[in-house]
Amino acid sequence: MSETATQKPRVRVPAYTTDSEAAAAATSQPARAEAFAFGDPVPVTSMRDFFYEGLWMSPEEWYEPPIPLDVLAKSYRATAHHGSALQVKRNILLRTFVPHPLLGRQTFSGLALDYLVFGNGYLEEVASRLGSRLPFRHLRARYMRRGGLQGDRYWWVPNFVDRVELPRGRVIHLLEPDIDQGIYGVPDYIGSLQSAWLNENATLFRRRYYLNGSHAGFIMYVSDAAQDQQDIDAMRSALKESKGVGNFRNLFLYSPQGKKDGVQIIPISEVAAKDEFWNIKNITRDDQLAGHRIPPQLMGIIPQNTGGFGDVEKAARVFVANELEPLQETMREINEIVGEEIIRFRPYSLDAEAGGGLDPTR
């Protein structure tokens, strides 16, 4: 080898590295940014989105309703305004209803509520052994099915096992007309269901927000060079454990030789979440009242303006004239089917004597 050739440097590589040397090398590495979440999102409701399924024949020879009846039943109690709007209509109908020996108040109340919730109401004509008429029986609309080539066969289907076909000619079906088919009725509040579910989701989310405790409404920003990985791990563990039962606990952080702004808490969603919750609740409430065409005075809503909502008596009379009286006329169609006036209504009045109530001043 030539003497003028450059000599290659020789570096001795140790066969192994001690634990102290590895720890020193790890601590000598520059600090890196780290971000972590408090857990995966938890759905607040398992109800699937609503859609019009249309009519289709089942293997049992009946047609399935175009709108799942279990969805309508669960939505009935989804929000205070949706359920209350249906109940106030039922209560006014029940107040003006005149009982009949063949149709009592309780049977009519169930018929009216089914018609308002599902768009379908069913009565069964019951006869004695001698052929005389007995009081009509209310059949819950959620478990009724209709089929046959002419739509003249009815089944009572309370579950997937018990299925009973009712005798022909004994079922009276009152339905809300639908523009797509004539087998089942469809309620007229369908357009407001999305708002009702959004209102329910906002309430359930708010409940979980408080039950969770770790609201993720802030960012903890640590830029102090004095912090090592063990301190970061300890802080992460403390934040994760401050959820559920252990929420709202105080946290202590000791930072020797730390800077003034080495640890910062940056709120990001607390104020925005409050504002959005308020707006969602108010907007969806108005949508539900519009879907049911209920004046806010009859729902017990407190006005936010100084002018208020106006005279509650005038609103009640207009509501009854425009909504309840046409509904009464629809229910009187049962009289034509039965051949007897079993459904009668007295004129609506806010006076106690006209409504059959008691005068508290006497």
What confidence tens digit (pLDDT) does each residue in 50-71 have? Answer: 567 778 888 778 999 999 999 9
CA distance 229 to 31: 9
CA 63 to chain centre: 27
* 308 within 8 A of 142, measured Cβ to Cβ: no
CA distance 70 to 80: 18
pLDDT of 132 reads 87
Q: Nearest CA to 317 among 292, 345, 346, 347?
A: 347
What are the residue ranges in the chain where pLDDT is below 50? 42-48, 355-362
pLDDT of 44 reads 42
pLDDT of 279 reads 87
pLDDT of 43 reads 47
* Six-digit token string for 185: 């009725």
The total number of residues shown for the chain amounts to: 362
Look up residue 232 and give its DSSP letter.
H
The backbone torsions φ and ψ at residue 86, rounded to the nearest 5 degrees and listed phi first, read: -70, -35
Q: Nearest CA to 179 among 188, 171, 170?
A: 188
- Helices H / strands E in the chain, number of each: 11, 12
Long-range CB contacts (< 8 A, 24+ apart) of 163-166?
Answer: 163/60, 166/124
